[in-house]
Amino acid sequence: MSSPRLTIAVPRGALMGGTLDLLDTLGIDTSEVRANDRKLLFEDAGIVTMRPSDVPTYVAQGAADIGVTGKDVLLEQPDRVVYELLDLGFGRCDMVVAARRGDDAMDEALRRLGRVRVATKYPKITSAHFAETGRQVEIVEVKGSVELAPLTGMVDGIVDLTATGTTLRENDLEVLEEITVCTARLIANPVAHKLKAEAIDELVARIRDGRS
């Protein structure tokens, strides 16, 4: 088929394995990507690799035609204009509110001080969740291990992504509320979605067929 080849943004980290496995089933050669941990651009395969939160950026700007990233990333970057084409099903995680086990710091803070203090890497998701549930929230944005924040008393609770809950348990935290389930999503640049429609449709159809 003569349809133009697509440049694919592949997330490094937890979603990388599932993404490369998927690309293998589509007949894209990922061996060089798997063998090479430092290299970022693989022209032969049409693959660029990056951290998951950068995938919407590269795809929105057209540096990649399509990409794979988590729903959590998309929810946190709603102003990136990309098509969300498919729920790929893998990389399933829960976005949760968690706090110290057996601690009612969140309820107490809300009752006595009128607001909850919450640490997170996901300020937009956190703000939307607390607004929807009618609670005032003070968001403390952190970059590293969020679990530390309530342990030091800096905040009453956290909003974070958890796959198995192990890290939360090991830090004596428990899940209080489940906000949403996040899985890997296939996204596309809006212009590529029109001008490379055939190539994108073919890819989407093959992924759909592969699942049913």
The residue ranges that bind other proteins (CB under 8 A) are: 60-63, 78-79, 81-87, 185, 189-195, 197-198, 201, 204
Closest CB 100 distance from other proteins, rounded Å:
34
Closer to other proteins by Cβ: residue 135 or 193: 193
Closer to other proteins by Cβ: residue 83 or 90: 83
SS3 56: helix
Closer to other proteins by Cβ: residue 60 or 95: 60
Residue type, 95: M
Tokens of residue 6, six digits:
């697509």
> 106, 176 in Cβ contact below 8 A?
yes
How far apart CA 87 and CA 85 sit, in angstroms, is 7
How far apart CA 144 and CA 53 sit, in angstroms, is 14
Closest CB 5 distance from other proteins, rounded Å:
13
Closer to other proteins by Cβ: residue 88 or 168: 88
Closest CB 200 distance from other proteins, rounded Å:
9
How far apart CA 70 and CA 122 sit, in angstroms, is 13
How far apart CA 128 and CA 131 sit, in angstroms, is 5
Closest CB 35 distance from other proteins, rounded Å:
29
Closer to other proteins by Cβ: residue 135 or 206: 206
Closer to other proteins by Cβ: residue 104 or 201: 201
Q: Provide φ and ψ at 175, rounded to 5°.
A: -75, 130
Closest CB 160 distance from other proteins, rounded Å:
23
SS3 20: helix
Q: Provide φ and ψ at 148, rounded to 5°.
A: -65, -35
> 97, 158 in Cβ contact below 8 A?
yes
Closest CB 195 distance from other proteins, rounded Å:
5
